[in-house]
Structure 1
């Protein structure tokens, strides 16, 4: 990481065995790295494998007893901004993503946040709206812009790579630029 470079944590929220959106998450990760405005970290919630809220104390107390919680806290705390990549399950973000957010409290506060969603006809927009509501409860600075990818499967090649169209590329580029701008502003005000 370059000196004074802010860290962006990209969190991929699907943990299903046959999850189809991993190419979306990898595309977001590569685009963020290529933009060069952030040092980029990636959290795949399937790999992180958090259990369902197993800490005895409320997360606002930060009295963590479990190694997985301590590691998750450190990962989120190290980030200056967060970008969620989420599918839409029944008009909502995945339970694993909701759980990961609710595992912590203070670690999220004041960080600029963006969302890339994917799904069917809505492109995950309903998931994005529900996620914004949840994040407002942990004092996240949610950006109004998002990148919804409708019918995302049509953009994934036989090799499992997302081939983004120009509106997707432009949308993500703009979202990354806005995340960086807001991260710099937050850093100046601390």
Structure 2
């Protein structure tokens, strides 16, 4: 049996962001875990414009080349983890935009979250994202990784300084994600046979 393919999506695109360091930490942890094939996707590099398709996903063919590229990228994933900052008691616009571009590509796939911020540790971002991914037909995990005081564990341009508590939380989320990805992959394969 092949490893489920996990895509880690760094949601923040702003200059000086901490998301790239957090995403790299999580990516390295997944590689050491060795249960997944893994890809790190940085929305700052993907460069999606604000949603510019004339029809909503699922109602018509895509018309923009960047949408087709995004669709092909996301279609390869069997599970996802969004690394998201908390902005103004919610998640950031680039993450919402990336989700809104697609429809069927997300459906019936598990999704986890690594949220980060100040005292709330990205919890409100994760809480706000959960109904959005559920509306897209994704399977949101109840276990998430929450990183409080982000400036304490990573400085601008610096590496992420992990803590045992965060590694343990991430590993628990990967346990759940692996179970869902393995079971969901079997169901999706059976449906196409």
Q: Which moved more, 1:126-135 or 1:154-163?
A: 154-163
* 1:109-188 aligned within 5 A: 109-156=107-154, 160-188=158-186
What is the Cα-based RMSD across aligned positions, in Å?
A: 1.4
- The change in CA–CA distance for 1:63 and 1:166 in structure 2 (over 3 A counts) is same
Q: 1:157–1:163: 8 Å Cα contact kept in structure 2? A: no
1:69-127 Cα offsets, whole Å, 9 max, x none, are 11110111100000000000111111000000000011100001000000000101000
Give how far 1:20 is off.
2.2
Q: Look up the match of 1:70.
A: 68
User: Any stretches of 5+ residues in structure 2 without a counterpart?
Assistant: 189-193
Q: Look up the match of 1:104.
A: 102
Give how far 1:21 is off.
2.6
1:134-171 Cα offsets, whole Å, 9 max, x none, are 11110100000000000022112687111111110000
What's the TM-score once normalised by structure 1's chain length?
A: 0.95
Q: 2 CA distance for matches of 1:163 and 1:70?
A: 36
What's the TM-score once normalised by structure 2's chain length?
A: 0.93
Q: Look up the match of 1:51.
A: 49
Give how far 1:4 is off.
1.7
Q: 1 CA distance for matches of 2:187 and 2:73?
A: 22
- The change in CA–CA distance for 1:65 and 1:159 in structure 2 (over 3 A counts) is closer
Q: Look up the match of 2:6.
A: 8
User: Any stretches of 5+ residues in structure 1 without a counterpart?
Assistant: none
